[in-house]
């Protein structure tokens, strides 16, 4: 298996420079900055701050959300979760490119899980995680749904690296070490995510119908 993040990708740095990576937390933004040519925006902790940041995002650039998450059900620590849907109490947003991005990340050597992510406004404990597992979600965070709603059609992907799980909760002696390893993994996957998002954005623009001829 290739070293994670070592695969050569199409699109290159010039393509990825048109992408913005949205990172809710300071540590996530620091991990992502300089890892690719994509611009990085720290959106803030929690759904309210991220919704406010999302309202100020540019109108045309492709966007991707990247950060850490908690695992739900059998999702293991260190796994890269690519959301095919993000949910919260207000509804859901689907991400049709999730599986092609997951394939790209796997080709670069990452362990990847595709599935729904749910965003909540608080840290979830073990009983709540068990309840969430029955709904089919594979990970939980606090910001992705708010950012997805603000980004609308510009959103290309939501990618989260799992730190805490149902078996190893956030308040745990091993959490700092797990978080550092997850942030390093996030940094290594950033070029893959940025290049893929740029390519996906270009493909969507090429497929967009042009203006109708009004002279007929």
User: Model confidence over 9-50: pLDDT tens digits?
Assistant: 334 444 455 899 999 999 999 999 999 999 999 999 999 998
- DSSP alpha helix (H) spans, 58-125: 98-107
pLDDT at 6 over 80: no
Per-residue pLDDT at 1: 43
Q: What's the pTM value of the predicted model, to 2 decimals?
A: 0.86
Architecture, CATH, for domain 12-188: 3-Layer(aba) Sandwich (3.40)
Predicted confidence (pLDDT) per residue in 71-86, tens digit: 999 999 999 999 999 9
Sorted by where each begins, the domain ranges of the chain are: 12-188
Residue 167, pLDDT score: 86
- Whole-angstrom distance, CA of residue 100 vs CA of residue 52: 30
Residue 200 has a pLDDT of 81
Cα 140 to the center of its chain, rounded Å: 12
Closest to 17 in 3D by CA, of 43, 30, 36? 36
Q: Taken in order 164, 45, 161, 73, is the CA torsion positive or negative? A: positive
H-type alpha helices, the chain: 12-16, 26-32, 46-55, 98-107, 126-133, 144-151, 175-207
| 8 Å CB contact between 96 and 160 | no
Statement: residue 2 has pLDDT above 50: no
Q: Which of 150, 156, 161 is nearest to 38 (CA)?
A: 156
Q: Cα–chain-centroid distance for residue 44?
A: 15
Q: Per residue in 131-182, pLDDT tens? A: 999 999 999 999 999 999 988 888 999 999 999 998 887 877 778 999 999 9
Q: Which residues, other chains included, contact 76 with Cβ-Cβ below 8 Å and sequence gap of 6+?
A: 162, 165
pLDDT value of position 215 = 43
Residue 17's pLDDT is 59
pLDDT at 202 over 90: no
pLDDT at residue 213 in the model: 45
Measured distance CA(20)–CA(63) in Å, rounded: 5
Distance CA 45, CA 32 (A): 16
Q: Is the separation of the CB atoms in 197 and 157 below 8 Å?
A: yes
Residue 159 CB partners (closer than 8 Å, separation 6+): 64, 65, 66, 80, 81, 82, 83, 101, 105, 189, 193
pLDDT score for 163: 96
pLDDT at residue 203, rounded to an integer: 57
């Amino acid at each position: 298996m290739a070293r994670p993040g070592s695969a050569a990708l199409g699109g290159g740095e010039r393509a990825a420079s048109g992408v913005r990576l949205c990172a809710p937390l300071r540590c996530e933004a620091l991990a992502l900055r300089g890892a690719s040519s994509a611009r990085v925006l720290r959106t803030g902790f929690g759904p309210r701050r991220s919704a406010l940041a999302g309202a100020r995002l540019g109108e045309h650039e492709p966007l991707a959300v990247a950060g850490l998450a908690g695992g739900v059900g059998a999702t293991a620590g260190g796994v890269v979760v690519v959301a095919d849907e993000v949910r919260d109490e207000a509804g859901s947003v689907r991400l049709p490119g999730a599986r092609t991005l997951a394939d790209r990340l796997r080709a670069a050597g990452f362990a990847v899980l595709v599935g729904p992510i749910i965003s909540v406004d608080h840290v979830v404990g073990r009983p709540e995680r068990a309840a969430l597992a029955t709904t089919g979600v594979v990970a939980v965070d606090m910001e992705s749904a708010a950012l997805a709603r603000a980004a609308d059609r510009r959103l290309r992907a939501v990618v989260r690296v799992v730190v805490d799980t149902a078996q190893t909760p956030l308040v745990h002696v091993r959490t700092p070490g797990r978080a550092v390893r997850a942030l390093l993994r996030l940094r290594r996957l950033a070029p893959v995510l940025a290049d893929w998002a740029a390519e996906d954005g270009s493909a969507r623009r090429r497929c967009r119908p042009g203006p109708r001829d009004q002279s007929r």
